[in-house]
Structure 1
Amino acid sequence: MAEHVEPSMKYLQKFTSPLWDLIDLENYKPVSIIEAQRAGFDVVIIDMQHRAYGLMADNGQTANTTFFVLRHQSAFRQPQIADIGRVRQYDARLQVSVDSEAIYMAVPAKQIRPGEWEAILQIMATLAAELKETPATGQQHVKGRVSYRPVGAGYAVYLFWTIVSLIVAVTMLGFGLGGLFGLTKLAETWRESNKLSGEMLLASVFFFFGALHSYTKAKKRR
């Protein structure tokens, strides 16, 4: 029997390593939460509203993503790459993560229709059953350890953009301060030079923010 739960950020704190904290979602909040059971496992279906997803998502628009959570209730083994790859055969855009408590799945920026829920939940139940049948041993049984292979840009890409953004930011800051204090001639007149200095200082702030943003994303993928 499915049960609707009052959506709240406090409810999301029940999960240790949720997928919505691993992917590039910003300003997210739950708008609908449903608890149910599937093949003997507790499942949660969450519709999450957030800022538009992706590298070009700075237009202020919002999107919705449906997250599926299945508590596998088993001794945790670290899933192999084949596990995640097989799950993603259902949809190449599917993001998947597994920790010691739950399996998470979602297609970022896609609100899944109820008619498609059963297929996804069946995939999750199959993976959960396999995890339960293969007990963890040695270092594989690590509380809270997460298996996650993000779709799209990886660690190296975000690290590259972090370095590029920092170089541009420092360069802009140097020229901006130099022009402001008369150390660098940016234009023929004092007024034009001051104007360019202000623009460069503002640009340096933007690129420093970009470097921080890329570094944050890189840490999630390390």
Structure 2
Amino acid sequence: MGARGKAVQGHRRLRRQAACAALVLCGSLALTACNGDDGSVGAAGATPGASTAPPSAAATSSAAPGGSTPSASATASKKPTPAATATGKPKAPAPVPAPTCDHKMPISPDEIAVYRYTPEGGTLSLIVKHGNWGCPVPGGSTPFVTVGEETFIPVADDAKITAMAPILSGSVSKPITAHELTSWLESHPNKGLVFHYNVNHRGMIETLGQEEYTP
């Protein structure tokens, strides 16, 4: 092949390459135009494959006009219950203190506790202790509280004496003689039975009556 033939062949090759390039360019333009027509590509700047799901319920509620309003059940659940506000069971009222016995009565002027007797000096004398009535004992009687030391008081020969149990049977006072009294005191010393008494102008017991009291 001569030089002229080679030149013609090269010119033909260039034309075919240009024609192929033109066909490729036209195909690209046609494809781009088709994609824009069927809407498969989103708006400008949109990324293909982006999520188009509807907004969530949380986003919808937050976007509602005026903001979200707590439901009645939610509001009620926030209210303190009686159990939460109570500080505990009501305290029982404090017990009322029992009244105290703090009397300061003076020594009884006409009552004595009789323990024994003595015939010394030729005169019957009762060995006694003075005192007064103390505070009541729960479930019992009121005690006769003695004070000081034992002393003696002479008894007149004609003294009127009355007694009851335990010297006599029964709770009714009955007259007894001085001898009956001393006999009982001799067999039952230091019992401390309480008697009320009166003395005459000589300081001797002229009346002696046992009181209903058991030490």
TM-score by length of 1: 0.22
Rg larger for: 2
TM-score by length of 2: 0.22
Give the structure, 1 or 2, with the largest relative contact order (CA under 8 Å, sep 6 or more): 1
> Per residue, is there more helix in 1 or in 2?
1
